[in-house]
Amino acid sequence: MREVASKAVAGGARQAGGGPGKQAGGAKHARHGAGGSAREGAARAQRQGQSGGQGRRAGGMAAGSAMISGRTGERTDGSAMISGRAGERTDGSAMIKLENVRKSFGKSEILKGVSMEVGQGGVTVVIGPSGSGKTTLLRCINFLEKADEGALTIGDLSVDMKKCHKREILAIRRRSAFVFQNYSLFQNKTALENVTEGLTVVQRKPKGEAREIALEILEWVGLSNRADYYPVNLSGGQQQRVGIARAVALSPDVILFDEPTSALDPELVGETLELIKKVAQRGITMIVVTHEMSFAQDVASQVIFLDEGLVVEAGPPAEVFGRPKNERTKQFLARIVPQDYIYTI
């Protein structure tokens, strides 16, 4: 299996609030440009992406920059995805960069050298079969597991994931927030306290200010009337919304979502995904591990397909879902994405 360094840069395909029809304007333009040379295509894609972005911004919906990267255009000529070159990104710096992350539990190697890059404000969705290492990858980024090898950069902070100091781990954690599959709210704290806890204890904000921020965010997730409830009194969906509020309140460089909806019943999945979309619209960089393919198609600026501890395919959702190049990706998607869905893109 080939190892693919995913260098797709986020930003372009992010869109504000619509369904699949409105989706991936930039990527579509990029595909139209496929007739010309790669370079031309890239340039055209960039222009079109920009204008598209402006249009959306004028509509008052898009958050953050909405430029399509040159690289996305480059891919449209159908050449191999592998690219060793450092790309000229039109989108500013990468927010998160992972290089060659390896992790074994005992004898089984879960991550076999994963590299990826996430642009500022981008939404990267990681998909893949169970046991492919998605969750482990996410946990390694937040040092809930310690990787055996690899380098991690968040913003301007780079660390060696194997041997880094406690202080560095703390610094990385303070730049990131985690949304757990099973919510993991602090059981002994109310919804409000769950949100303020990080603000007062970690960020040392005064209590009043933390409370204000927390109330505002709880209002934003639609739970201002549940501020004084303990987690046991909240439904799963409400708990996960508090979990998301807790993460957003910290205003981290990146929020890591670990299958945020897989413990919820179908009705609650919808409302939670809507909220995660809203988080994306705030322009917060996110990495989302999920099995919700329509969500991935809808919100992602980059989709990464992980299988057996390796990045098999990476690119904008239209590419990965619409025209998967790798045999394994095709297999996986054929089984879980309804065929007609692929055509609606």
Partner 1 sequence: MDVGFILEMLPALLPAVKNTLLITFASAALGWAAGFAIALARAHRVRGLSQALSVYVSFLRSVPLVIIMFFIYYAIPTFIAFYRYEHGLDVAVAAGNRNVIYPIIAMSLSESAFASEVFRSSLSAVSHDQMEAARSVGMTAVQAYRRIVLPQAIVVAIPNLGGLFVGLVKSSTLAYYASVVEITGMAYTLASPSYQFLEAFFVIALLYEALSFGFSRLFLAIERNVGKYRRGIVLK
Which residue ranges make up the site for partner 1 (CB under 8 A)? 142-144, 170, 173-174, 176-178, 180, 182, 184-190, 197-198, 201-203, 228-233, 246, 250
Task: Give the shortest CB-139-to-partner 1 separation in angstroms.
Answer: 9
SS3 call for 295: helix
H or E stretch including 179?
strand 176-179
SS3 call for 171: helix
Task: Give the shortest CB-203-to-partner 1 separation in angstroms.
Answer: 8
Q: For partner 1, give the closer residue by CB, 23 or 239.
A: 239
**CA-based Rg of the chain, rounded to a whole angstrom?**
20
Task: Give the shortest CB-250-to-partner 1 separation in angstroms.
Answer: 7
Q: For partner 1, give the closer residue by CB, 44 or 139.
A: 139
Q: For partner 1, give the closer residue by CB, 138 or 310.
A: 138
Q: For partner 1, give the closer residue by CB, 203 or 294.
A: 203
Q: Are 210 and 199 a contacting pair, CB within 8 Å? A: yes
Task: Give the shortest CB-334-to-partner 1 separation in angstroms.
Answer: 35
Q: For partner 1, give the closer residue by CB, 250 or 299.
A: 250
Q: For partner 1, give the closer residue by CB, 128 or 231.
A: 231
Q: For partner 1, give the closer residue by CB, 186 or 341.
A: 186
Task: Give the shortest CB-131-to-partner 1 separation in angstroms.
Answer: 20
SS (H, E, C) the chain: CCCCCCCCCCCCCCCCCCCHHHCCHHHHHHHHHHHCCHHHHHHHHHHHHHHHHHHHHHCCCCCCCCCCCHHHHHHCCCCCCCCCCCCCCCCCCEEEEEEEEEEEECCEEEEEEEEEEEECCCEEEEECCCCCCHHHHHHHHCCCCCCCEEEEEECCEEEECCCCCHHHHHHHHHHEEEEECCECCCCCCCHHHHHHHHHHHHCCCCHHHHHHHHHHHHHHCCCHHHCCCCHHHCCHHHHHHHHHHHHHHCCCCEEEEECCCCCCCHHHHHHHHHHHHHHHHCCCEEEEECCCHHHHHHHCCEEEEEECCEEEEEECHHHHHHCCCCHHHHHHHHHHCCHHHHHHC
Task: Give the shortest CB-232-to-partner 1 separation in angstroms.
Answer: 4
Q: For partner 1, give the closer residue by CB, 166 or 335.
A: 166
Q: Are 86 and 47 a contacting pair, CB within 8 Å? A: no
Q: For partner 1, give the closer residue by CB, 188 or 339.
A: 188
Q: Are 307 and 88 a contacting pair, CB within 8 Å? A: no
Task: Give the shortest CB-284-to-partner 1 separation in angstroms.
Answer: 16
> DSSP alpha helices (H): ranges in 221-288?
236-249, 266-281
Task: Give the shortest CB-85-to-partner 1 separation in angstroms.
Answer: 35
Task: Give the shortest CB-183-to-partner 1 separation in angstroms.
Answer: 9
